Chains A and B, each alone.
Chain A
C-alpha cells in the first residue's frame, strides 16, 4: 500500500516549456487535490477533483490544467511554465471532500522554472 505517489520528485524547466506532474493513489479515495507550497505562503489549492469525472478550480488555478484520468490518477499540467510557478507541488487524496475527511499527501515535486 504505497498511499499517494507523485512523479517526478524534482524538475527544472525553462520558461515556456510544458510538463505534466503525475499523481496516483491506491486507497480507493474519491477526492484528489493539487496544492502548491511557497515559502511563507502555506498550502494553496490549485485544482481539485471531488470524484472521478469532475474537476474544479481552487484558489490559484491560473496557468495550470488538470485531468482526472481515472479514480486512481490525477495529473497537473503546466502548458507554458513561468518563473512564478517555481514551487513545491503536493498531490493529496481523501475518501470524500477534505474537511469532512482527512487528506493524505504525496511526497511532493520540487519544480524550478528558470
Chain B
C-alpha cells in the first residue's frame, strides 16, 4: 500500500483565497483524522471521521475551516478565506478500527501571505 496520500505537498496562497487540502487514506481504514502542526501550538487534532461521518470537530478553529469525506477513499479540508495565521503543516492520518494505531501522511505545508 502507498500509505496515506496528501496533496498538494506545498501550498502558497494569498490572504483571502480559498485553500483545499486533499487526503486519500489507506485502503480499508475506516477512520480519518486531520491535524495541524505549528511551532507554537504543536500537533492539534482538528477533526476526525469514522465511516465517513464526522465524529468530533471540536478542534476546528473557526467557521472558515470545513472538512468533508464524501467516500471512504477521499477527504478534503477547506479554508475559506485563508489568513496568515493558518500557515502550518496539515497532516491527515487514517486507522483501521481493529489495530487502533494511526498512520500519518507526509503533510501539506501551507503558507498564507
Are A and B genuine complex partners? no
Interface, chain B (partner A; CB < 8 A) = none
Interface, chain A (partner B; CB < 8 A) = none
